[in-house]
Structure 1
Amino acid sequence: MTRITAWRRHPLARYAVLIFALALVGMTYTAFAQAGKPADAAMAAGKVDDVAEGKSLFVLHCASCHGMNAQGTTTAPTLIGVGAAAVDFQMSTGRMPAAAPGPQAPRKPQAKWVNEETTRQIAAYVQSLGGGPQVPPAEAVDPKLGDAGKGGELFRANCIQCHNWAGAGGALTQGKYAPNLNSATPQQIYEAMVTGPQAMPVFNDSTITPEEKRSMIAYITQVREQQDPGGFGLGRIGPVTEGLVAWIVGLSALALAAIWITAKKRQKS
């Protein structure tokens, strides 16, 4: 008893207790996280069998770049922890599988083997590797349930620097670019915000809430349906294009007017 009391009074005793408590919390968290992985994958896929099917598809079509265990290679990044939403975004937009390495994977038609079922299966397998953002439910991306006015404020505060006020996109550095949003579905827009593909930052729920994301989707879909009352929209790229057209058209008109006036004076003389 005296020995136990002496140990408790030792200067290092408090640190030993703290380390033991932290280790206990870590082991408990890991146990719960591992227990929840199959259920997590099942929710992302709709059924647990999709994980096995997704692994087979992954080994066949994706492992050559991302590694046999999705650990990543010098060609492609790791997929552990990216979540089902990232897979659904990349595959549904045709960005994956990539045709060739480059600064940014462009949107393109889907590969022949890619469809809703195979996308869901690979997404379920990737989700089972380490969690991550899941594919959002239909009500989370329904523009009719969002506030387009509030969404416009959020979009102008967070997105127009790259995507332009109308979602027309724009150039970035080192060969990268912010893509045009006119072809993106509401689900793809939401998935891009929570996963941050390529040069885009991640807007998690603590930064922009799910309700605010839905309002931003409402704004984007509303803007793309608007008409251009002034005439040609010029791609809605902004003042650079408009200024270029004004200079070319304006200077051409002035040059033609000068030629016409000069020709008239010559005829009179």
Structure 2
Amino acid sequence: MRQRPSGRSRHRRVRDAAALLVGLLVAGALYGLLAPRPQTADARSDPALLEQGRQLYATSCITCHGQNLQGVESRALSLIGVGDAAVYFQVSSGRMPLARQQAQARRKPPLPQFDPGTAEGQENLRALGAYVQAAGGGPRVPEARGGALVGDDASRGGQLFRLNCSSCHNFTGRGGALLDGKYAPTLEEASPVQVYTAMLSGPQAMPRFSDRQLAPEEKRDIIAYVLAVRGERNNVGGFGLGEVGPTAEGLTAFLVGLAALVLVTAWIGARS
């Protein structure tokens, strides 16, 4: 005969189920409070600004990136999720629209209507970015511009730059070659907002640095370092050799010395 569960057993099961339910509710509440909010499309933008951005997109971007920002195969990738940070970096630096298909977009003068040095260019960049942001979401352009994006601690910025950036851009931001025809561009001409948006959007072979990986104040300190070493020529005691890093002169001396040793050895062998 099947034994019925006792009252104490039923009470224990109810208690365990209630505890599990409470635990799930608490875990869900904590996740909702602590988890990063997804960068979704922003539908609160000015309708007139969005319409302006849509028209600019239709005349400058739609051929390669498609009518719905989904991209066109063999032409360009989707813009869903890139945010207006990527739009600002790519368009203000002249990398987009792309001049021709190649391994990496090269910096060139921007189109006149997107020149960040003019009021019209700034307005058009904001409109195009707002349209892409509203349609696909993604990292946002910082509200601060110019000197407000330059940190106060260039020394700490140098440490962060050497840790996160120097392996590609070398120690003073002069750039360098990568694989498959790609390269890390020089930072000589990049404005503070272009450096900031590049860190947010991760163009070409560059990784993205979210605010959880590099805090906003750390990004600003990196910009302070980039500006501090821009144009410097710290070549005391020798040649700079392109300023590609502190080992350049030692490596050159080693290779020249090795070649000289080989030549001397060959000369001695020939005489004997």
Regarding TM over 0.5, the answer is yes
Q: 1:108 to 1:196 in 2, by over 3 A?
A: same
Query: Residue 42 of structure 2 aligns with which residue?
Result: 37
Distance 1:175 1:136 in 2: 31
Distance 1:94 1:157 in 2: 28
Equivalent residues of 1:141, 1:190 under 8 A apart: no
Query: Residue 97 of structure 2 aligns with which residue?
Result: 97
Aligned with residue 204 of structure 2, among 198, 223, 228: 198
Superposed counterparts of 1:23-34, under 5 Å: none
Equivalent residues of 1:84, 1:132 under 8 A apart: yes
Deviation string for 1:229-254 (max 9, x for gaps)? 52653331236764686589999xxx
Please say if 1:118 is aligned against 2:118: no
Equivalent residues of 2:86, 2:203 under 8 A apart: yes
Distance 2:188 2:195 in 1: 10
1:141 CA drift (Å)? 6.4
Deviation string for 1:88-134 (max 9, x for gaps)? 00011000000011110000111233322222211111011122111
Q: 1:208 to 1:123 in 2, by over 3 A?
A: same
Equivalent residues of 2:172, 2:226 under 8 A apart: yes
- Unpaired runs of at least 5, structure 1: 1-8, 23-31, 252-269
Superposed counterparts of 1:176-255, under 5 Å: 176-230=182-236, 232-238=239-245, 242=249
- Superposition RMSD in Å: 3.4
Please say if 1:142 is aligned against 2:148: yes
Distance 1:177 1:33 in 2: 29
Equivalent residues of 1:104, 1:175 under 8 A apart: yes
Superposed counterparts of 1:70-109, under 5 Å: 70-74=69-73, 75-109=75-109
Query: Residue 35 of structure 2 aligns with which residue?
Result: none
Query: Residue 68 of structure 2 aligns with which residue?
Result: 69
- Poorly superposed stretches of 4+, deviation over 4 Å: 243-251
| Letter of the structure 1 residue corresponding to residue 175 of structure 2 | G
Equivalent residues of 1:84, 1:134 under 8 A apart: yes
| Letter of the structure 2 residue corresponding to residue 92 of structure 1 | S
Distance 1:241 1:33 in 2: 43
Query: Residue 59 of structure 1 aligns with which residue?
Result: 58
Q: 1:108 to 1:48 in 2, by over 3 A?
A: same
Equivalent residues of 1:94, 1:111 under 8 A apart: yes
Distance 2:254 2:179 in 1: 27
Equivalent residues of 1:146, 1:217 under 8 A apart: no
Compute the TM-score of the two structures, normalised by the length of structure 2.
0.71
Distance 1:202 1:161 in 2: 15
> Which structure has more helix as a fraction of its residues?
1
Q: 1:116 to 1:33 in 2, by over 3 A?
A: closer
| Letter of the structure 2 residue corresponding to residue 190 of structure 1 | Y
Distance 1:204 1:124 in 2: 20
Distance 1:94 1:173 in 2: 23
Distance 1:172 1:244 in 2: 19
Equivalent residues of 1:104, 1:198 under 8 A apart: yes
Deviation string for 1:50-83 (max 9, x for gaps)? 1101111111111110001111111101111211
Equivalent residues of 1:169, 1:180 under 8 A apart: yes
Deviation string for 1:198-240 (max 9, x for gaps)? 1000000111111111111111111114343526533312367
| Letter of the structure 2 residue corresponding to residue 87 of structure 1 | V
Distance 1:144 1:58 in 2: 31
